[in-house]
Structure 1
């Protein structure tokens, strides 16, 4: 029996024990009560650590962070105009700065008084969100998919200064990452997040498009895409190949990102049409 099927069987067994004769292995997702005012585990982020990992947008006075404020405004305008809630952040290949951009964008949105944000690390190959933010994750998205914990218990409330963002950390999947991405468990989890966090902008830090079929597997669950490219990393053929794979989902913006040795982030963005 493959690992995913084994995990689903364990989930089914747990559900039968706790709720009688239910035969639905995904009932734990459907019955989870995840509200915006829930007391999530609190994590205080260290400004020094954020600076060291180039997460700068938590500070409204940081010059480099302001570039992410511009990106925030542009992205939110397109999402609001179209009634979109979920934004996937991805790149053609690794090394383009997608996770740094996703974290900075989330921190920038968190500074808006009328906005709430949920950052989800869906890179099951190389999850980086918890590392970049300085979060010690006790559980994460893979634990949720396997039925070992609930969404409620996996999400943390990360705060710095007076700002806060909800974070669902990632976990490395040693085998079967693509299968988990295409699973009903993933679809149900994303539906749960969208339903229970209606007032939140949900940012998904995805794997690179060209490393496998992970991103393609959940395109139907995604409203929009932010494509991150890197100077000296992404080639024109890479970008064209991404457009071919992502053509069914709107790309709100293409960011050409460059991270210098001085840990400053610069980008040039191309807007949604």
Structure 2
């Protein structure tokens, strides 16, 4: 399906526009992350935040589009926030199948993915939907592990970006992190506290944290800056 540019701009999705001033922030972030992932042979990138309202889904969508604009690059965006799945809303996608359909064996992985087109490029999207019960159990399940193996097999030539739930809201992210190659942490000025950053540090000690994105929001603009993190 072809994405609607007006809807994307309304939802602050700008990564599809190569000449946009705002999209350049994502292009810089893209370059930094891909260099690390290529160097280490990583494929799975998890995007999370300490708490809600930090802009992780906006970052995931924009980063995926920025990567897709590169020649010979393929990207799959997976909405794995089983509490508040929003990728479809941000991109304007309406699709009957989703990640939960695959987990419950109601649809195949191929039938559940959408090719979201913008200009001459496209992003493959596996939409999500809230799991009314047992989100944490799904994340830790062998079924989820099998789906991740299928994704690795079917999209072995591309980068896979996972939009995860906020890190500090429960055990969901902690159970899936060992299956991710790298992590991008999205924080929000005025939203994220220093104590929350420290708590995230503890949880991410065994993960490859490639960048921290500081999301600065004002009434007129939104800027993203990627920083190294150790």
TM-score by length of 1: 0.83
2:226 alignment partner in structure 1: 269
Report the counterpart of residue 47 of structure 1 in structure 2.
Answer: 5
- Is 2:3–2:91's contact at 8 Å kept on the other side of the alignment? yes
Q: Structure 2: how far apart are the matches of 1:74 and 1:89?
A: 15
Q: How does 1:33-182 map to 2 (within 5 A)?
A: 43-182=1-140
Q: Structure 2: which 5+ residue stretches go unaligned?
A: none
Aligned partners of 1:272 and 1:114: how far apart in 2? 29
Paired residues of 2:213 and 2:225 also in contact (CA < 8 A): yes
After superposing on structure 2, the runs of 4+ consecutive aligned residues of structure 1 that deviate more than 6 Å are: none
Deviations 1:120-152 (A, max 9, x none): 000000011000000002110011111111101
The secondary structure found in structure 2 opposite 1:44 is coil
**RMSD of equivalent CA atoms:** 1.0
CA drift of 1:75 comes to: 0.5
Contact 2:25–2:225 (8 Å) recurs in 1? no
**Residue 167 of structure 1 aligns to a residue in which SS?**
strand
Aligned to 1:229: 187
Unmatched 5+ stretches in structure 1 = 1-42
Q: Answer yes or no: is 1:210 the counterpart of 2:168.
A: yes
Shift of 1:268: 2.6
Corresponding residue of 1:33: none
Residues of 2 paired with 1:173 and 1:192: CA distance? Answer: 21
Q: Is the 8 A contact 1:97 1:228 kept in 2?
A: yes
Give how far 1:195 is off.
Answer: 1.5
Q: Distance in 1 between matches of 2:107 and 2:219?
A: 40
Partner Cα distance (1:149, 1:60) in 2 = 35
Distance 1:60 1:265 in 2: 17
SS at match of 2:151: helix
TM-score (norm 2): 0.98
Q: CA deviation at 1:210?
A: 0.4
| Structure with greater Cα Rg | 1
CA contact (8 A) 1:97 1:259 kept: no
Q: Report SS of the residue matched to 1:218.
A: helix
CA displacement at 1:220 relative to structure 2: 1.6
CA distance in 1, matches of 2:88, 2:11: 11
Compute the displacement of 1:272 (Å).
4.8
1:195 to 153, 158, 168: 153
Alpha-carbon distance in 2 for matches of 1:185, 1:65:
36
Q: 1:267: Cα distance to partner?
A: 2.1
